[in-house]
Amino acid sequence: MIPMLIVDAFAERAFAGNPASVCLLERWPADEWLAKLAAEMNHSETAYLVPEGGDFELRWFTPAVEVDLCGHATLASAAALYHTGRASPTQPIVFHTRSGPLTATRRGDEIELDFPVTPAEPATAPEGLLAALGVSPANVGRSKFDYLVEVAGEDVVRDMTPDFRALLDVECRGVIVTARSSDAEFDFVSRFFAPRAGVDEDPVTGSAHCTLAAYWHERLGKCEFRALQASARGGIVGVRLAGNRVQLGGRATIVLEGTLTTAASPH
């Protein structure tokens, strides 16, 4: 029997933040099976974990592709390992991934992830990007994964209605749209769109904050932030920049726990 959990990451309650499926495996099945189950679960990411000594190998799949880095599904994976007793809450969890080793550490009610910084270099918006977003940019940059577009204010971020079909023509994993927050509780807000990866809008995107941390450090002159991803579900991310690493903190809520049936198990 293969355990499966659904976890709302960067959420203080159920049905908020970003849901991820977490599949706890003993060994790696064929990639085709991993892709099919991720499409069946239809969350922005399904995380797969396999024990490796005292650590875990971790891979992430959207409904369409495997990705190199995912924050919320890593947070969900740590929560699932704590919940099922596969990891001690007093010790960091080490994940071996396509982006190198990543760690998760329990900090009271939150889990803190240690991720690489992925800074955005100044860039020219590719043809069709701004028209698809329907915004006028204050700045445009590009990280190794995504475009970043800063706009005039939080209301622009919240009110935009992108043309997702048009965004399919933009060659990148996704697009981060961000602005300074108009609420003193937060430093900046963002939204994240990735139709080429099979996710029109991701509710809360940990990996995007690896880019946003460096971007807002340059503009605000600080290293610690409280960030809001202003999607319909919404999510709060604690962000701390430390050299070429960034710590992302948030809570997670277990929503569902079960097992795959024999019919769904890899053969």
- Catalytic residue chosen out of the listed positions 26, 32, 40, 45: 45
**Could you tell me if 153 and 180 are in contact, meaning their C-beta atoms sit under 8 angstroms apart?**
yes
**Could you tell me if 177 and 215 are in contact, meaning their C-beta atoms sit under 8 angstroms apart?**
no
Quick count: other Cβ atoms within 10 Å of Cβ 32?
9
27 exposure class (CB count in 10 Å sphere: 0-12, 13-18, 19+): exposed
Verify whether residue 154 is a known catalytic residue. no
Round to whole Å and give the CA distance between 199 and 58: 20
> Of how many residues is the chain composed?
267
Longest dimension (CA), the chain: 54
Question: Helix (H, G, I), strand (E, B), or coil: what is residue 255?
Answer: strand
**Could you tell me if 73 and 9 are in contact, meaning their C-beta atoms sit under 8 angstroms apart?**
yes
Q: List residues with catalytic annotation.
A: 45
